[in-house]
Amino acid sequence: MSYLVQGKKGEQRLFMGNEAIARGALEAGISVAAGYPGTPSSEIIENLAKVSKERHLYVEWSVNEKVALEVAAAASFAGLRALCVMKQNGVNVASDFLLHLAGSGTRAGLVLVPCDDPGALSSVNEGESRHFARLVEIPLLEPGNFQEAKEMVRYAFTLSEELRTLVMVRSVTRLSHASGNVTLGELPPTGSKAYFKHDGFILDQMEGAVISSPVEYKHTLQQERVQKAAELFEESPFNTYCGPPDPEVLLITSSACNLYSKEAVRLLQAESRVGILKMGTTWPLPPRFVERHLRMADTILIVEEVLPFLEESVKILAAELAPTIGVKTFYGKRDGTIPATGEMNPDRVVQGLARVLGIDYQPVSESYAQKALESAFFGAPERDLTFCPGCPHRASFWSIHNALQLDHRQGFVCGDIGCYSLAMRPTGYETLKTLHAMGSGTGVASGFGMLREFGLDQPVLAVSGDSTFFHAVMPALANAAHHGANITVVVLDNSGTAMTGFQPHPGLTVDAAGKAVQALDIRRICEAMGVEVRQCDPFDLAATQAALLELISSRQGPNVLILKQLCALSPERKGKRRFNMHIVETICMGENCGCNRLCTRVFKCPGLIWDKVKKVSRIDDVICAGCGVCASICPAGAIQKEAV
């Protein structure tokens, strides 16, 4: 039994934020959970999948975030509480259906949990999801600690059913991935039944058809729901104030910034001067509650991440209330007191708050700061972001790079998000020349592929992973096939959503809960679109390169090369070597070889080390994965492999 469902009401558990969110959903009595993997959100669905059998849940990794929200919405329409989970980028993908769902409304409780990534710790942008709540007019909640992460999710289902609308609960990386004590509530009985009533009066939310028209009528209902939410939030226990009754500065904050703010006030010993208003219901704001606290001080500092979302809402409210509360002086992101990019932390809040309070605060001595700076610059070992030892992507990009060099037409590769994004860097021989959203590599390549009549004669390639193929590449490939774009799409199939933890996708034979399901064949899908398809093992460098040269020479519309090899870290391959590798030192001429240390200078697998004393390359047996590819790139034949 998973520890997620162990323990009695009132007992405490140490939960990661994502576990607390999952527990909150279980205590709310959900029946369905769907999502698409992406850091920092993935552990929510993973933990729910582990308990799906004993809690009678349906849990799935959907093909993309829009479909995940559609799956969860269907459960709501059929009377079952449902949770939908994604990272911040996913809300962009889901936004089309999100806009319609906000208009049609919901039935049983439906909660969307987007996990944002301020600072882009594991993303390629730090876009935030909060603006979608205001855009589509649904309530937004932001937990300020781990207990609230659980309690707020449970409350969100009640709120969703009271208002008959989707409710958004936004988490951030530091809340999702850090841990804290959580007091357990009670798990309800299982066994909910689904039934979709659809033959009632057309305007009956609970029995008629679920649609967003008549649009003006339904839009009016949306705005009435938001007004009702604001009224309910006036008494919300998730909005709290701590500090003196007449603070010199009122600090307004939300989410994990609540914890940073508390620490900053403590470090500055400003408890008697600063009051902290923590908002858990950040849209719509409860006007009377906020007004009461704005009256407490004339100086307001707003701390949040990333953009000034809360700041703008408070300022609008303050402008409307100016005749009764007077003119306030605001500090925050718009005046630069708090940075509007990157992840917040206590140091950043200290700097901003010290400036507002007029405190000359020095967190560390200048000599210590200088020593730390020098140690970080000169003392840290030099290392680049790189593919793992034995990663099939290194071999794939070795072949792609070499094929483009041999072709001599300045060909290029369009990429998207996955482990293979590292091919922007030297580890992938700087092969990727564009990098945007999932599936955008193929879509952008499709555009390039239509520019022949404008003189573009360069070979155009796109790369994607196997999970990304199902997520967003299929429509882009259909577009390329339909219009005859002259491109080569390389599917880097490592048999899993490797970057986020090997979650299953439609190409595999198991689902999120481990149940056997039908696997979809990427090759057959591509062929059904009328596209020529080849498949190679990327570890076979010669065959891969030959196939690439042939495909990029083709001028008959799109074609696809599937490079299929298990991820080196996959459960099926991890710890299992194909070859024992060794270097014959008498053959390796090191820097005197004509290759000029090709293996350690260019190929750069971490399993290869340059021995500065012996002036030869050697194998690091601890981390070598035994893929055998390096034996193929040594021109002298000094790297040798023996089958295990």
**Residues above pLDDT 90, as percent of the chain:** 81
Q: What is the mean pLDDT of residues 232-240?
A: 97
What's the one-letter identity of residue 222?
Q
pLDDT at 375: 86
Q: What is the mean pLDDT of residues 35-57?
A: 95
For 200-210, b/e burial (b = at least 16 CB within 10 A) is eeeeebeeeeb
The region of weakest confidence among 36-50, 342-356, 369-383 is 369-383
Q: What is the mean pLDDT of residues 319-331?
A: 95
Q: How confident is the model over 513-571, as pLDDT tens digits?
A: 889 999 999 999 999 999 999 999 999 999 999 999 999 998 788 999 999 999 988 87
pLDDT at 616: 86
What's the one-letter identity of residue 611?
D
- Nearest one of 380, 419, 426 to 401, comparing CA atoms: 426
Confidence of residue 278 (pLDDT cuts 50, 70, 90): very high
In whole numbers, what is the pLDDT of the chain averaged over residues?
Answer: 93
pLDDT at 379: 81
pLDDT at 413: 96
Q: Is 80 exceeded by the pLDDT of residue 489?
A: yes
**Residues above pLDDT 70, as percent of the chain:** 100
pLDDT at 383: 72
More confident residue, 276 or 496: 276
Q: What is the DSSP string of 246-293?
A: S-SEEEEEETTHHHHHHHHHHHTT-TTTEEEEEESEEES--HHHHHHH
pLDDT at 498: 86
Residues 251 and 301: beta-carbon distance below 8 Å:
yes
Confidence of residue 15 (pLDDT cuts 50, 70, 90): very high
Structural tokens at position 595: 């290759």
- Nearest one of 29, 113, 38, 114 to 75, comparing CA atoms: 29
Q: Is 80 exceeded by the pLDDT of residue 592?
A: no
Q: Is 80 exceeded by the pLDDT of residue 594?
A: no
Number of H-type helices and E-type strands within the chain: 20, 25
> Is the preceding peptide bond at 284 cis, omega within 30 degrees of 0?
yes
pLDDT at 587: 86
Cα–Cα distance for residue pair 11/344, rounded to 1 Å = 32
pLDDT at 443: 95
Q: How confident is the model over 376-391, as pLDDT tens digits?
A: 878 877 777 889 999 9
Q: Is 90 exceeded by the pLDDT of residue 166?
A: yes
Q: What is the mean pLDDT of residues 5-17?
A: 94
DSSP for residue 298:
S
pLDDT at 547: 97
Cα–Cα distance for residue pair 572/350, rounded to 1 Å = 48
Q: List C-alpha distances in Å: 633 to 136, 338, 587, 629.
A: 54, 51, 14, 7
Cα–Cα distance for residue pair 236/230, rounded to 1 Å = 10
Q: What is the mean pLDDT of residues 235-255?
A: 97
Residues 139 and 165: beta-carbon distance below 8 Å:
yes
More confident residue, 303 or 577: 303
Cα–Cα distance for residue pair 279/139, rounded to 1 Å = 13
Q: What is the mean pLDDT of residues 264-276?
A: 97
- Kindly report whether the global pTM for this prediction surpasses the value 0.75: yes
